[in-house]
Chains A and B, each alone.
Chain A
Amino acid sequence: MFCEKAVELIRELHRMSDGQLPAFNEDGLRQVLQEMEALYEQNQSDVNEAKAAGRSELIPSIKLRHCCLLRNQRCITAYLYDRLLRIRALRWEYGSVLPANVRFHMNAEELQWFGQYKKSLACFMRSLGAGEGLDITQDMKPPKSLYIEVRCLKDHGEFEIDDGTVILLKKNSQHFLPRWKCEQLIRQGVLEHVVS
């Protein structure tokens, strides 16, 4: 009672390290909303009584409940907002297609928001670079070298890079490739960056 559930939600999010998205706690959220509803109803009846009977001694408890209501509201917004921030960071980290296990942790509205964010980001990136578009999610930090050495972890078949050359990605072969060509494949676990 009195905001414990809401703080628990915040704590749960706080415990996860940066960039991780915990499962959407629908149950916890519902409990907080129920608590708010109960508080509101109690307040409502108390207010009516105070008005009708002029019982001014009820006013402090009304105020307390009201504060709790506001606090619960703040906590829930914070919870949702922090999740949004995390989801936004995911777009920059994983690209536009999220792995299934991450999607599983999001609720329907969040998914919808993610879709819209994706769209507006894509729109923006297309408008850059004199009509050609620019992928601003890449090279967030300036890379040390344009090329990196990668190692193939599984047979992936042929891979065409944008200048038209085709390379065969076969298990245990090593390649020295432009960094921006292989970042995607490294994320997918096909390639491994060899640091020597």
Chain B
Amino acid sequence: MFIADIRKDFYEVVANQRVALLVASDIDALCACKILQALFHCDQIQYTLVPVKGWQDLGTAFLEHKEQFRYFVLINCGANVDLLEMLQPDDDSIFFICDTHRPVDVVNVYNDTQIKLLIKQDDDLGVPSYDDIFRDDDEEGDDSGNESDEGSEPSGKRRRFDEGAVERRIERQRARREWEGRRREILFDYEQYEYHGTSAAMMFFELAWVLTKDTKDMLWWAIIGLTDQWVHDKITHMKYVTDIATMQRHVSRHNHRNEDEENSLSIDCMRISFEYDLRLTLYQHWSLYESICNSCYTSCSFKLWTLNGQKKLQEFLADMGLPLKQVRQKFNSMDMSIKENLRDVIEESSNKYGMKDIRIQTFGVHFGFKNRFLASDMVHAAAALLESTEKDESDGDNFIKALDALSRSNLERLHSGIDLAKKKLMAVQQTVASCICTNLILSQGPFLYCYLMEGTPDVKLFSKPMALTLLCKYLLKAFVHSTRNKRCKLLPLIMAAPKDVDKGTVIVVGIPPESETSDKKNFFGRAFEKAAESTSSRTLHDHFDTSVIELKSEDRSKFLDALITLLS
């Protein structure tokens, strides 16, 4: 069930209890977890935090902890499956789920005792009404997913032999069949598309605010959580702008509160500010030139993978009147006179080159005097740490590292994350360029398809879901900019990359079509399931996003064929 009052129904329930936090590995979940941890520290609520990577992890983590805990808080996982069915918990385990994955499973929505959803209901959920999907008749309780209720007609007590009863029964069976047909339709409509709702970090920040325990650190984490959704293209632009406005109100409230302090800039102060900043990735920690080359927005607009694009970039730089020597050196060391009104200069020139949205509403933070970060810098750094492929470190280690990088005291870790992020972005850029130039993207009819061969440079990096999704989005944008085929511009993209060479598996990601007005709703989750079912391919639907799956390499072609027939 949805929780109406997050303070009363969630926080006051778990206060003075021991809580298990199961946290998915994405940046938003990390931020939400940070906020919740800070709250728990305030109130001395004992907890155990366990990172979970997929459904299997979630299952084992639950098994290991179900004896010791009654309350489980699931962050960014668990809402979009029938959790009770999957985990088979005892009757007294209670799950609080704060998840951005939509649609929320209907059983979770209508379970009043064990499942509590920390999800805002104004999120346009469109949950079907109770009567449409559950029917409490005869001896079947509200236990739903039971498809075989046909055969469970009353046997013993209702054996009556008069004519009327038989007729009535036939009538009733017909009505039920009709109802069931309608139910399937409704559920299909409801579950067809996968999308994301309000960020978990923002939910918990709101809780902190209601408890009047919010701090600047928490606010910053909430902002990072929101920015993660934007960077990884999970929400619509409209939603992003609305949520940014919400955060902006909190930011001005916090800044206002400290305004009268005498020395507002000290070495250990933290100052969050609203920025209308450039969409150039990591530019403050890179050189302007490299940032332009490796940002998705600019590189796609210029088509930097072509010779013409490179020329255009040079023209663009000349148009801005920035000396090449300055542009190529570290941003920090650029002339102050150039930096002063850099954003306006770039915006002006970008407008001429057809890049109208080079600036975007976001937030920046100052730690002390020296350290300045944009919210997107933090997201890229944390994501790179989370999916780092260096030195064969386990996922758990990476999780801890990313979690550490988010706190203010670990700047060194954050900087190492930024370095990793640069490498990752360059790898993405190079892969996009090589895929476009060698025409690796094939139109399969209902969708586009691209397979990264084993042996492609940096292929190991793209065996991780977040990195591959990012590559996917960049690639589709670049493809839309480069292709002349009008029909292809409206197609979604499926991408596969080798996951584990020894096991012979590939990771497959599907993303929705790229367009200005895209609602970011993804239908590949269901499609993958159906295709796998019909061909009995050996797939693993372990990831919390249903549109990311693992597949045996040998089954790839038959899986794709099934997908094509399914979607066309």
Chain A residues with a Cβ under 8 A of chain B: 145-147, 149, 151, 165-168, 170-178, 195-196
B-chain residues with CB within 8 Å of residue A147 when the two chains form the complex: 41, 44, 46
With A147-B41, A166-B68 already in contact, the answer to whether A175 and B409 are too (CB < 8 A) is no
Q: What is the chain A residue whose CB lies nearest that of B51? A: A172
B-chain residues with CB within 8 Å of residue A146 when the two chains form the complex: 44
Q: Apart from A145-B41, A167-B68, what 20 extra A-B contacts exist at CB < 8 Å?
A: A146-B44, A147-B41, A149-B37, A149-B41, A165-B18, A166-B68, A168-B48, A168-B64, A170-B50, A172-B396, A172-B399, A173-B49, A173-B50, A174-B48, A174-B400, A175-B49, A176-B37, A176-B41, A176-B46, A177-B46
With A168-B68, A176-B37, A176-B41 already in contact, the answer to whether A151 and B400 are too (CB < 8 A) is yes
Cα A178 to Cα B18 with chains together (Å): 12
Asked if B394 is at the interface of the complex by the 8 Å CB criterion, the answer is yes
Q: For chain B residues 106-122, which have a beta carbon within 8 Å of chain A?
A: none
Q: How far is the CB of B189 from chain A (nearest CB, A)?
A: 40
Cα A195 to Cα B409 with chains together (Å): 8
Q: What is the chain A residue whose CB lies nearest that of B34? A: A196
Asked if B47 is at the interface of the complex by the 8 Å CB criterion, the answer is yes
Asked if B65 is at the interface of the complex by the 8 Å CB criterion, the answer is yes
Q: For chain B residues 401-450, which have a beta carbon within 8 Å of chain A?
A: 407, 409
B-chain residues with CB within 8 Å of residue A171 when the two chains form the complex: 396
A-chain residues with CB within 8 Å of residue B49 when the two chains form the complex: 173-175
- Point out the residue from B48, B51, B400 that lies within 8 Å of A175, measured CB to CB: B48
B-chain residues with CB within 8 Å of residue A172 when the two chains form the complex: 51, 394, 396-397, 399-400
A-chain residues with CB within 8 Å of residue B399 when the two chains form the complex: 172
A-chain residues with CB within 8 Å of residue B400 when the two chains form the complex: 151, 172, 174
Q: Are B394 and A176 within 8 A (Cβ)? A: no
A-chain residues with CB within 8 Å of residue B18 when the two chains form the complex: 165
Chain B interface mostly: mixed
Asked if B40 is at the interface of the complex by the 8 Å CB criterion, the answer is yes
With A149-B37, A167-B68, A168-B65 already in contact, the answer to whether A176 and B45 are too (CB < 8 A) is yes
Cα A97 to Cα B65 with chains together (Å): 31
Q: Are B40 and A176 within 8 A (Cβ)? A: yes
Q: What is the chain A residue whose CB lies nearest that of B396? A: A172
Asked if B67 is at the interface of the complex by the 8 Å CB criterion, the answer is yes
Q: For chain B residues 376-407, which have a beta carbon within 8 Å of chain A?
A: 394, 396-397, 399-400, 407
Cα A147 to Cα B43 with chains together (Å): 10
Q: How far is the CB of B25 from chain A (nearest CB, A)?
A: 12
Residue-wise, chain B 44-78 has the 8 Å CB interface mask toward A (1 for contact) of 11111111000000000000110110000000000
B-chain residues with CB within 8 Å of residue A168 when the two chains form the complex: 48, 64-65, 68
Cα A145 to Cα B47 with chains together (Å): 15
Cα A171 to Cα B37 with chains together (Å): 19
Cα A146 to Cα B37 with chains together (Å): 15
Cα A149 to Cα B48 with chains together (Å): 10
Cα A171 to Cα B18 with chains together (Å): 19
Could you pull out 20 A-B pairs where Cβ atoms are within 8 angstroms? Answer: A145-B44, A147-B44, A147-B46, A165-B18, A168-B48, A168-B64, A168-B65, A172-B51, A172-B399, A172-B400, A173-B49, A173-B51, A174-B48, A174-B400, A175-B47, A175-B48, A175-B49, A176-B46, A196-B407, A196-B409
Q: Are B44 and A165 within 8 A (Cβ)? A: no
Q: For chain B residues 481-498, which have a beta carbon within 8 Å of chain A?
A: none
A-chain residues with CB within 8 Å of residue B48 when the two chains form the complex: 167-168, 173-176
Cα A36 to Cα B378 with chains together (Å): 70
Q: How far is the CB of A129 from chain B (nearest CB, A)?
A: 24
Q: Are B64 and A170 within 8 A (Cβ)? A: yes
Q: What is the chain B residue whose CB lies nearest that of A172? A: B396
A-chain residues with CB within 8 Å of residue B47 when the two chains form the complex: 175-176
Q: How far is the CB of B517 from chain A (nearest CB, A)?
A: 42
Q: How far is the CB of A14 from chain B (nearest CB, A)?
A: 36
Cα A146 to Cα B46 with chains together (Å): 11
Q: How far is the CB of A148 from chain B (nearest CB, A)?
A: 9
Q: What is the chain B residue whose CB lies nearest that of A168? A: B64
Q: How far is the CB of A64 from chain B (nearest CB, A)?
A: 61
Q: How far is the CB of B146 from chain A (nearest CB, A)?
A: 34
Cα A145 to Cα B43 with chains together (Å): 11
Cα A147 to Cα B394 with chains together (Å): 28
Q: Are B68 and A165 within 8 A (Cβ)? A: yes
Cα A151 to Cα B396 with chains together (Å): 11
Q: How far is the CB of A76 from chain B (nearest CB, A)?
A: 48
Q: What is the chain A residue whose CB lies nearest that of B38? A: A196
Q: What is the chain A residue whose CB lies nearest that of B64? A: A168
Q: How far is the CB of B22 from chain A (nearest CB, A)?
A: 10
Q: How far is the CB of B73 from chain A (nearest CB, A)?
A: 13
Q: How far is the CB of A73 from chain B (nearest CB, A)?
A: 53
Cα A104 to Cα B50 with chains together (Å): 39
Cα A121 to Cα B41 with chains together (Å): 35
> Which 3 residue pairs of A and B lie closest in terms of their CB atoms, listed nearest first?
A172-B396, A174-B49, A196-B407
B-chain residues with CB within 8 Å of residue A195 when the two chains form the complex: 409
A-chain residues with CB within 8 Å of residue B50 when the two chains form the complex: 170, 173
Cα A196 to Cα B65 with chains together (Å): 26
Cα A178 to Cα B46 with chains together (Å): 8
Q: How far is the CB of A137 from chain B (nearest CB, A)?
A: 24
B-chain residues with CB within 8 Å of residue A173 when the two chains form the complex: 48-51
Cα A170 to Cα B52 with chains together (Å): 13
A-chain residues with CB within 8 Å of residue B394 when the two chains form the complex: 172
Q: How far is the CB of B19 from chain A (nearest CB, A)?
A: 9
Cα A121 to Cα B49 with chains together (Å): 38
Q: What is the chain A residue whose CB lies nearest that of B399? A: A172
Q: How far is the CB of A195 from chain B (nearest CB, A)?
A: 7
A-chain residues with CB within 8 Å of residue B44 when the two chains form the complex: 145-147
Q: How far is the CB of B404 from chain A (nearest CB, A)?
A: 8
